[in-house]
Structure formats: structure tokens, C-alpha cells
Amino acid sequence: MALRIVAGRPDPAIIGLPWQTPLEEWTDQHVVDLPRGLSRHVVRIVGLGEATYAIKETVEEIAFREFRLLRDLQRLDLPAVVPKGVVTGRVGADGEELPAALLTEHLRFSVPYRSLFRNGLTEDEVPHLVGALVVLLVRLHLAGFFWGDVSLSNVLFRRSAGGFAAYLVDAETGELRETLSPQMREYDVTIARENVFAELLDLQADLWADQQGPGVDGLEVVDLLQERYATLWEELTAEEEFSTAELWRIEQRIERLNDLGFDVEELDIVTDYDGDVVRIQPRVVELGHHQRELQTLTGLRVEDAQARRLLNDLTSFTAHRDLGREDRTLVAHEWLSTIYEPIMAMIPADARAKLAPAEVFHEVLVHRWYLSERAGAEVDILEAAEDYITHVLSQKPDETLPTN
């Protein structure tokens, strides 16, 4: 049987991997030491030059189905890992057929939930983790994606301005439709409750028994998940009715959605027969409002909560330097060259794998606030950055592979 590799943009180095060997037997020659979550399949993370891939063994038909579904999610710009290829026709040294392999691009600075708990996730941070999973699920449902196996294990988390952003990593049971019925959405939420509750019980037995993790009530967590899902879905999709004397409420609704980080690309506005009552309903809602604004101004591509944090600092920079009358793009360029980039340049090479650059900047801002409060006066941000990098960042674990 001939080895077959199906890929959008194939990496020639993939051919040189030991495909004739079962994945669980791959050695440190190829496998890199990065945290990976629990999976029903054998999964390994592999480094090939500058690229890093997650490789999963599975049934050939399922591998191709998941590969195509992940490509669909990528085209829709939804938060999911990027599929890189499928390898079939694998034969072991004993002549036995080996499972097909699905390759996805490893998500830099992403961490599975168990690693977050092991590395000191606090009880106060657990709701942020739940919120990230809820936002991911709502975004997928808005796009017509039925997940079928919502769980913490099927997600990778990136830190985002003190919170988290969630990315789908396992679409094996997923299905993309034009729209989802309320029953399908309800089923996904029910599955999420059951899986997350079981995962937290497992963590409690594994970590919390040795007092390595925060004390978390699993039932409270899944109740919070269901409540937040219902609240966010209602805010993003509910029909709102008011009189024509209250047309300001249209702008208010859009502003509320913008504050949540969502853009309204289409708004259905209907009046009654007499024109006295107006009904509005968002039709197309997309996350990334702050992300797109920051990228337009600075070219930086970061998580949406990080973008909001950076935009707030840009606003403070504008006010402190009395640049309110200047072109905003020019002000953003000045902020980038005098504040953001100098701080990034201060990070030593051996600390660049610890946090994403925008998350470092967020933590510098938090650190500056603490230093200023302690000093009773505002501390210069570059001084705060130097203190943070020396005393805080240096103590954090690496969350991705170092780069040259």
C-alpha cells in the first residue's frame, strides 16, 4: 500500500516522518515537549523546523471528514485549529496496516485545561474559563455548527487579557448546517454540562485530592455555563420591540453588542402597520470588533479582549499627550513605536515562549497599577515593564516552543 498525503499546502518535511511506526512509539527525535489534552485517540505534537503540528491517529473516513470540516470552519473565520493534511496508506514494519493520521497546526501559546489547573489556575479564574467555552459555543452555533461533543478536553485555551479565548480542536462529531434548531443547540448545551461536570470530577480526583488545584463546585460551574450561554444567545439574537419615539435603542443595542466584542453586520428592522412600533433583530453577528479595530490602526493581530486592553491604553496615551485632535492612525503609530514595541524588545530571548506578546503587555499594565498603588504615584510604564519582566515573567512556565 502506497503512502498518501492529502494537504492544502504540503510541507515536504512531513514525508520524512516515521509513518511506518505507530504514533505512540514515536520518540523525542520528532515529538516535542508541549502540553496536550486528554483524547480518545493517540495524539502527538511534532516539531518540523519552524512548524509544529498536532498529529492524531484515527479512522481514514473520519480523518478526511474532520479535515474538510475544519477547513470549512477556517473559511468561516471561526476559532478552531488549522487543518494541514491527512496521511493514509500507512503500513508497519510487520506489514500490518496502521491508522490514518490527521495533521493540524499547533496553536501557539495555547494550553489544555488540565495544564491550566496544574499551573495554578485560581478559583476566581474558573468563570473566565467557562465564559471562553460559552463564547466559542455561541459563535459556532451562530454559524450553524453542531458540535455534538462539547467538552473542555476538545478545546485549547489562550490567555487573553487576564481571561481566556477558546479554540475548537476536535470536530470529529461536528456537523455544519445552514442553521441550527433550538433542540440541537439545547442538546449541545446538555452535552457540555455532562462532559464538563465529569471532567471536573476527574480533576478533583487527580489534582485536588493532593490540594494542587482550586476547590471548585462542578455543579455550580455547569450551571454557570448554561446560564451564560442562555444570556449571551439572548443578547445576540433576541428580537427587541419599542416605539418609534425610542429609536435611540437601536444604537444602544449595537453598542451593547460592541461592548461584548461583537459586530452587527446586518440588522433586521421592521415597523408595524401604523409605523408606531419598531422591532429589531440582529441577523449576522461576528466576534472581533476590538480585534479588527486594533489591527486596522496598528497591524497587531491579537485576541479580542487583549485588543480591547491595548485600545484602552492607546486612548490613555492619546489623552496624556493631548493628541486628541491628531489623526488616530498616526497616534497609534506613535504609541506602537514609543510604548508597545520598546516593551516587546525588552523581553529576553529565553522568556519569549512564556506568554504571547499582547498578554505580556496586558500583564505589564496590571503590574504597573500595583507598583503605582504601592508607590503612591504613577510609575513609568517602561520601568514597570522592566520590573515585571525581571520578577514576574521570568518565573512563569513556557507555553509554547521558543523561537529564534
The verdict on 330 and 342 lying in the same domain is yes
d(CA 333, CA 389): 24
Q: Is residue 404 part of a domain?
A: no
Residues 183-201, mean pLDDT to the nearest whole number: 95
Q: Following DSSP, what letter does each residue of 240-279 receive, concatenated?
A: EEEEGGGTHHHHHHHHHHHHTTEEEEEEEEEE-TTS-EEE
CATH number of the domain within which 142 lies: 1.10.510.10
Q: pLDDT for 274-319, tens place per residue?
A: 667 778 788 777 778 889 999 999 999 999 889 999 999 999 999 8
Query: For residue 25, is pLDDT > 80?
Result: yes
pLDDT attached to residue 54:
92
CA torsion, ordered 369, 371, 372, 373, to nearest 10 deg = 80
Q: What separation, in Å, do the N-terminal and C-terminal C-alpha atoms of the chain show?
A: 39
Q: Is residue 295 part of a domain?
A: no
d(CA 41, CA 59): 10
The verdict on 27 and 39 lying in the same domain is yes
The verdict on 85 and 153 lying in the same domain is no
Q: pLDDT for 265-278, tens place per residue?
A: 777 878 766 667 77
Q: pLDDT for 331-363, tens place per residue?
A: 999 999 999 999 999 999 999 989 999 999 999
The verdict on 334 and 317 lying in the same domain is yes
* Interhelix angle 381-391/357-375, nearest 10 degrees: 110
The verdict on 37 and 24 lying in the same domain is yes
Q: What is the pTM of this model?
A: 0.84
The verdict on 75 and 125 lying in the same domain is no
The verdict on 261 and 200 lying in the same domain is no
Q: Is residue 119 part of a domain?
A: yes
Final residue before a domain boundary, out of 47, 70, 105: 105
Q: Indicate the number of domains in the chain.
A: 4
The verdict on 274 and 220 lying in the same domain is no
The verdict on 159 and 227 lying in the same domain is yes
Q: pLDDT for 321-334, tens place per residue?
A: 888 888 999 999 99
Final residue before a domain boundary, out of 287, 322, 356: 287
**155: domain range?**
110-236
Residue identified by cell 515573567 is: 393
Q: Is residue 292 part of a domain?
A: no
d(CA 232, CA 135): 8
Please state, rounded to an integer, the average pLDDT across all residues of the chain. Answer: 88
Percent of the chain at pLDDT > 90 equals 55
